């Protein structure tokens, strides 16, 4: 019962946000959120999405992964915050300014938030995994990052659920390359 009131309060506040609607609680967005939470937890390629016990909580029985994660998602705003709450959702979703890379964000807004999150990330001995959900805005950003991408390894990941396929672009940066990666990103133009 202790968690029920804050959950209802959060959902009520989120659904009253004029930028959001109940459409964002579709099962597709929930599936994306589950998938990304498992990646953040260190379970790289989980099986197909399914209902899980206590699924808004930290994934149990998995040691902390050797990397931190930053995510820029297209939709699934409210669900992803809930799914990643135990993993510091504010930091993880800072890559898109805590908002979905949706109609309300221009390419320039997404690029500004991406640069800020990468530049302000504080390394602490872990690798860094930066994830973008593939979308028309993503392609321009990935291209703009070209001078810094050689410091990491690229990994396309996709999964299917309910007849739809979601695609992600993942850039893995080793801990020793993070400062150089951040410096290159800081030196990129402020405008796409």
**What is the full per-residue pLDDT of the chain (192 aa) written as tens digits?**
666 777 767 666 665 554 555 454 455 677 778 888 888 988 865 666 665 667 778 888 889 999 999 999 887 666 788 889 899 999 999 998 887 766 567 889 889 999 999 999 999 999 999 999 998 888 888 999 999 999 999 999 998 877 888 899 999 999 999 999 999 999 999 987
Taking the C-alpha atoms of residue 96 and residue 112, their distance in angstroms, rounded to an integer, is 9
Give the helix/strand (H/E) hosting 129.
strand 127-133
């Amino acid at each position: 019962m202790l968690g029920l009131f804050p959950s209802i309060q959060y959902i009520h506040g989120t659904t009253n946000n004029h930028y959001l609607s109940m459409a964002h609680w579709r099962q597709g967005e929930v599936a994306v959120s589950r998938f990304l939470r498992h990646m953040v937890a260190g379970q790289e390629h989980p099986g197909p999405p399914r209902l899980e016990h206590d699924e808004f909580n930290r994934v149990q029985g998995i040691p902390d992964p050797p990397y931190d994660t930053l995510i820029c998602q297209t939709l699934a705003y409210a669900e992803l915050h809930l799914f990643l709450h135990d993993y510091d959702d504010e930091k993880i979703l800072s890559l898109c300014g805590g908002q979905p890379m949706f109609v309300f964000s221009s390419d320039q807004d997404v690029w500004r938030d991406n640069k800020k999150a990468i530049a302000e990330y504080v390394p602490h001995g872990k690798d860094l995994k930066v994830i973008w959900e593939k979308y028309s805005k993503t392609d321009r950003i990935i291209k703009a990052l070209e001078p810094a991408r050689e410091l990491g390894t690229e990994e396309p990941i996709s999964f299917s659920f309910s007849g739809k396929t979601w695609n992600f672009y993942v850039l893995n940066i080793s801990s020793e390359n993070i400062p150089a990666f951040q410096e290159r990103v800081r030196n990129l133009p402020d405008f796409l």
